[in-house]
Homo-oligomer: A and B are copies of this chain.
């Protein structure tokens, strides 16, 4: 059993897309946005959009839709993206570098303050202005900077060892891109990211399209 079960996981996963659309509407100067409009932009059913947005506590107005500014705030507050989450990156390869530089993460409160890598050539350099340290500095830096969040982008054969190191350093949340299901104590939450999942979806869509 998962330690933390998110009941409305597919809804939570769609919130960032809603946020993107609603922020664009805000920039356009719209006052209200309807579930129908959001649904058509995302190729969903309006009823799904209403159900998803309900988890943030917002209620739309009949015939008008959602007040745009309120909707942005509701999503951002629900996800706690209105707070800054200082984070470290463990494994400063291509994927790690991509994540540090990913536009949008900063507006989600994700703020990388340090990266760690076991390659001696990388220690002392900077990636997108974030300093890279050698792994043996990890424990010291995490406790010094009071970091709770770590993004793990290392080869899968060292994923568990580094997870153990993160846990003993006091990390409370791990975003795991290694496709190895790391074990953690009860109090540490893990989000496993498997890039193959999206590829599986694409392959099944092609199959359906070819059979159609």
Cβ of A31 within 8 Å of any chain B Cβ, yes or no, is no
Interface contact B13-A197, CB-CB below 8 Å:
yes
Interface size on A, residues (CB 8 A): 66
Interface contact A79-B204, CB-CB below 8 Å:
yes
Complex interface bits, A84-100 against B, C-beta within 8 A gives 1, otherwise 0:
01000000011101110
Within 8 A of B (CB), among A33-49: 41-45
Binds B, one of A2-10, A62-70, A111-119: A2-10
Q: When chains A and B are docked, how far (Å) is the Cα of A99 from the Cα of B81?
A: 27
Interface contact B201-A9, CB-CB below 8 Å:
yes
List the B side residues contacting A14 at CB < 8 Å.
197
Q: When chains A and B are docked, how far (Å) is the Cα of A98 from the Cα of B101?
A: 13
List the B side residues contacting A102 at CB < 8 Å.
95, 195
CB distance from A158 to the nearest CB of B (A): 13
Q: Which of B43, B79, B181, B207 contacts A42 (CB 8 A)?
A: B181
Interface contact A41-B181, CB-CB below 8 Å:
yes
Q: When chains A and B are docked, how far (Å) is the Cα of A189 from the Cα of B198?
A: 13
Interface contact A197-B16, CB-CB below 8 Å:
yes
Known contacts A198-B175, A198-B191, A206-B173: does B94 contact A101 (CB below 8 Å)? yes
List the B side residues contacting A2 at CB < 8 Å.
43-44
Chain B residue, CB-CB nearest to A9: B201
Interface contact B93-A207, CB-CB below 8 Å:
no
Interface contact B12-A81, CB-CB below 8 Å:
no
Q: Which of B105, B156, B202 contacts A173 (CB 8 A)?
A: B202
| Residues of A in contact with B (beta carbons under 8 Å apart) | 1-4, 6, 9-10, 12-17, 20, 41-45, 78-81, 85, 93-95, 97-99, 101-105, 108, 110, 149, 155-156, 172-173, 175, 179, 181, 187, 189, 191, 193-209, 212
